[in-house]
Structure 1
Amino acid sequence: MLRQELQTYFDRVYPFSKIDTEHTLGGQVHIRFELGGEELENGTEERVKQSTDRALTIFNETFTDPTHEIFILIYEYQGENIFNATNNYLHKQFPDDRFTKFYIQLETVNTRYFTTDENGNDVLEKDEVRIIIGKLSVKDINVKNILNGIANTEMGFDPGIDQRIFFFDPTTDKAFQMYDDRGCYVWSDKADKIRDIYIKRSDWIVEYHRPEIEEYFKL
């Protein structure tokens, strides 16, 4: 089953990553890139275009072989979202005959937020989330539409994508997530696996996080 296959991969390469706890996803080494930038005004097509173009460039430099099969992990939180984005648009960015074979299941997952129990202890909140897991070649994913949809969402443009989506290449141990128009992450288990992206796209690194990121790549 795809869920088990992905979690087994996490256990081997990213041992702290758990599918049922989204905020644990990540690698031992990460780079945070700025996409929209402070110079471009919110709610403008120019900002969406730059965010999409930069994200697509970084994605293509992370997953350089279009024939590689990569994992796609999607979290769909239930109920209407504040941006009125529909879930179906993201689903359509994968071939129909492949999407029907994805793992799709409602699960109770841990969130990043805490409540306090009767003893005063912090307890992770839980939420019902539809988890979708697929595995297919990079070339079979309409990546540009996905990244543009993510960039659109908070800017109020259509079509928007409000789901959380992560990409993992089990061959190269590189991963990518664009969280919104502001930025994206690339990560791996070892610095040398993503050093080329760090060097090539250094100008796009979020300045606030640069000292932490540069520590990973010291020789």
Structure 2
Amino acid sequence: MKIMEYMEERFPRLEFIPSIYNQWSIGIHFCLGENIYQLKANEELNLKMFRFVYEQISTIFNQLFEQNDDIFLVTNMYKHKKKEKCIRKLKVYQPFLKCKNHLNQIMVKTYPYPFEINKAEEYEMQQFSLLCKPRDLHVAELLKAASNEDFPLKPRFGGYSIDYPDVFFVNITKDIIFFIYDDRGCEVIALDFKRIRPLYEKYHDWVEEYKCM
């Protein structure tokens, strides 16, 4: 199965761009970090806040994904059309795959640059997708890298030229999509709110907003 075949059947018209929550009628928008500032008074990084964020996103992921679920790991890489012929998928996927043979199974498709900026026609988006299972991934490190977008923390995604990559976790076993946009928050959408209701009820204090139909 290819990612777009699945999306056309289960999440028609949804685009893999921030924000997926605003594109779908069923979902939860979580606020991360409990409004703790990322920097201390002396301008040093507040690592306590980041550790709490890592704990939150790991908790959410583990509530949504089981080790044997079938998932697509989808990554958007943004690049200048002429300055770089291609983006190295290895820089995003290789550090987080337990079995490097999966690199040969990654699919890629090129799309127009999805954001409104000056000279947007000079840029494009390369979208990579890999059908795998959570057990095939170094999930904890992958989640951290997704949340470290705006700060010089490791792990980080590599291989990008203009914008930090966007990574989506698509659970095709449960029809759930999970997206961490940065250390401030994450989004979950689903075909059926019953799938995510336990998450909403158990971690209601983290919920910024939600939609159930």
TM-score scaled by structure 2? 0.79
Query: Judging changes above 3 Å, is the alpha-carbon distance between structure 1 residues 96 and 182 closer, same or farther for their aligned structure 2 residues?
Result: same
In the TM superposition, residue 154 of structure 1 has moved relative to its aligned partner by: 1.2
Give the match for residue 205 of structure 1. Answer: 207
Query: Judging changes above 3 Å, is the alpha-carbon distance between structure 1 residues 23 and 47 closer, same or farther for their aligned structure 2 residues?
Result: closer
Give the match for residue 108 of structure 2. Answer: 104
- In 2: Cα distance, 1:114 partner to 1:45 partner: 33
- In 2: Cα distance, 1:93 partner to 1:46 partner: 24
Count of paired positions = 192
Give the match for residue 212 of structure 2. Answer: 216
- In 2: Cα distance, 1:46 partner to 1:199 partner: 26
Of 140, 143, 157, 2:139 maps to 143
In the TM superposition, residue 24 of structure 1 has moved relative to its aligned partner by: 7.3
CA contact (8 A) 2:146 2:167 kept: no
- In 1: Cα distance, 2:92 partner to 2:15 partner: 26
Kindly report which structure 2 residues correspond to 1:129-140, keeping only aligned pairs within 5 A, or say none. Answer: 129-140=125-136
Give the match for residue 93 of structure 1. Answer: 96
**Structure 2 unaligned regions, length at least 5:** 40-44, 84-88, 158-163
1:202 alignment partner AA: H
In the TM superposition, residue 176 of structure 1 has moved relative to its aligned partner by: 0.5
- In 1: Cα distance, 2:126 partner to 2:75 partner: 8
Q: Could you tell me the percent identity over the aligned residues? A: 20
1:157 equivalent to 2:153? Answer yes
In the TM superposition, residue 142 of structure 1 has moved relative to its aligned partner by: 0.9
- In 1: Cα distance, 2:183 partner to 2:145 partner: 9
For residues 41-61 of structure 1, the C-alpha deviation after alignment (integer angstroms, 9 at most, x for no partner) is: 333211211111100110110
**Structure 1 unaligned regions, length at least 5:** 81-85, 117-123
1:17 alignment partner AA: L
Of 158, 170, 173, 2:172 maps to 170
- In 2: Cα distance, 1:39 partner to 1:18 partner: 31
In the TM superposition, residue 135 of structure 1 has moved relative to its aligned partner by: 0.6
- In 1: Cα distance, 2:30 partner to 2:71 partner: 21
CA contact (8 A) 1:17 1:24 kept: no
Of 40, 43, 46, 1:44 maps to 46
Give the match for residue 34 of structure 1. Answer: 31
CA contact (8 A) 1:87 1:163 kept: no
In the TM superposition, residue 115 of structure 1 has moved relative to its aligned partner by: 7.1
CA contact (8 A) 1:14 1:28 kept: no
For residues 70-115 of structure 1, the C-alpha deviation after alignment (integer angstroms, 9 at most, x for no partner) is: 01110111269xxxxx97154320121012211134x132413277
In the TM superposition, residue 8 of structure 1 has moved relative to its aligned partner by: 1.7
Kindly report which structure 2 residues correspond to 1:8-27, keeping only aligned pairs within 5 A, or say none. Answer: 8-18=5-15, 22-23=17-18, 25=20, 26-27=23-24
CA contact (8 A) 1:10 1:18 kept: no
CA contact (8 A) 2:78 2:113 kept: no
- In 2: Cα distance, 1:98 partner to 1:23 partner: 26
CA contact (8 A) 2:178 2:188 kept: yes
Query: Judging changes above 3 Å, is the alpha-carbon distance between structure 1 residues 186 and 24 closer, same or farther for their aligned structure 2 residues?
Result: closer
2:111 alignment partner AA: T
